[in-house]
Amino acid sequence: MLLDNFIDGKPVVVYDSREAKSYVVRYLKKFDDITTVKRPLEIADYLVQSAGRTIAVERKRASDFLASVSDGRLFTQLEHLMEYEDPRIILEGAIFTRAKSGRCYSIDSLGRALNVKRRSKKQPRATWSTEFFVHPHALISIFEKMQDMGIKLILTGSAYDTADTLRYWATRGSKREYLTIRRKSKTFTDRDRQLFLISGLIGISTKRAEALLKAFGTPMRVFNAFLEHPPSKFPVQGIGEKTVREIRKLLTSNLVGVRGEKLTEYEFKERIKELNDILRKQEILLRKKTVPELQALLREKGLKVSGKKEELVKRLLKAMRPEEKVDAERFVEKYLELMREKTEFQRVPKRLRKAYERLKDFTSHPPAGKNT
């Protein structure tokens, strides 16, 4: 996925959807010399282009940094961040240590002035710190590990300072053609390219892409799996119904208004289902009625009213004329449309062909071709 690096002549800072309500984004939008773009980023919180390289930025307040050390999230995030050419972490606030107690403390921001009545901005301010059970030696080791990995650590004092730093990186570099959203340039194997394709889907990380590829074999079979399997019964663990529905919508939505000459297999199946639904519409409506309601309809037609509900429905359907049971105009229109767009290998079920022969005389549509 590529994004033009300059919009209206201005450099672009891409921010993750989850950062949309942060103060950093609010400040970025006030700068006139850059353009901000929201994107769902799988890795990093911000992306900036500088001197032909993509800067991937993970923003962490001091308390969040220590919390992610405690629960282990930081190490996974660092590994993912390495997928970009220029990985960086912005640390907002301050961290200090107490070796004797084996603790670390964070200060995210300065507190209020001690004497609010004084107008001087240089008066002492109260600060609030948060204690974390992270040993100072562990923190030193983490900073050394980041240095060995080539991840730069940038310190800022507030959300505004973070926004100003991102702006500085975006505006100081020379103009380049593209901003890479997902990965750094490297020599890809065919397997890497397959994982790259699959991980572009909504909610699919590299780990899930590997699981999908292992389950179905090829990217094409993975895409087909999202169209063929019911969302509530998708066979790969960890991929929920909501994710499957979103991916199915993404794969099947025509967002450019261009209509293909021939139907894909999924589109063909959907058209067949639509025709079957048109044929069964009256039957479905009758099955929703109660037995007394069905008996009333049978009396109007002078038919026998005794029997089980299933028998009553069948009796009513049998007594109806074809044009009463089915919207013939719509069915024939959709059938002819299907016949024009299907491939020579896609076979229309015999039931639908017979239904067309029965209903075509009730419409003004021209007959279909012989390719069924």
Place of tokens 């923003």: 59
**Band of residue 163 on the pLDDT scale cut at 50, 70, 90:** very high
**Band of residue 105 on the pLDDT scale cut at 50, 70, 90:** confident
Tell me what pLDDT residue 15 has: 92
Helix (H/G/I), strand (E/B), else coil: 156? strand
- Which residue, 197, 199, 203, 205, is CA-closest to 244? 203
Alpha helices in the chain (DSSP H): 23-30, 62-71, 73-81, 136-149, 159-172, 190-199, 206-216, 219-228, 241-252, 265-288, 291-300, 309-319, 322-325, 328-341, 350-359
Lowest-confidence range among 59-73, 111-125, 126-140?
A: 111-125
Residue ranges of domains in the chain: 2-180, 190-252, 265-362
Give percent of the chain above pLDDT 70.
Answer: 84
- The predicted-structure confidence for 336-358, as pLDDT tens digits, reads as follows 888 888 888 888 899 888 888 88
Q: Cα separation of 359 and 332, whole Å?
A: 7
Fold of 2-180: Rossmann fold (3.40.50)
pTM of the shown model: 0.45
Decide which of 326 and 292 is more confident. Answer: 292
**Band of residue 9 on the pLDDT scale cut at 50, 70, 90:** low
Q: Cα separation of 183 and 372, whole Å?
A: 47
**Which numeric CATH code is attached to 190-252?**
1.10.150.20
- The predicted-structure confidence for 204-257, as pLDDT tens digits, reads as follows 887 888 899 999 999 999 998 998 888 888 999 888 899 999 998 888 887 777
Per DSSP bridges, beta strands 125-127 and 130-132 are: unpaired
Tell me what pLDDT residue 237 has: 86
- The predicted-structure confidence for 30-42, as pLDDT tens digits, reads as follows 998 888 888 888 8
- Whether the pLDDT of residue 201 is over 70: the answer is yes
- Whether the pLDDT of residue 333 is over 80: the answer is yes
Give percent of the chain above pLDDT 90.
Answer: 14
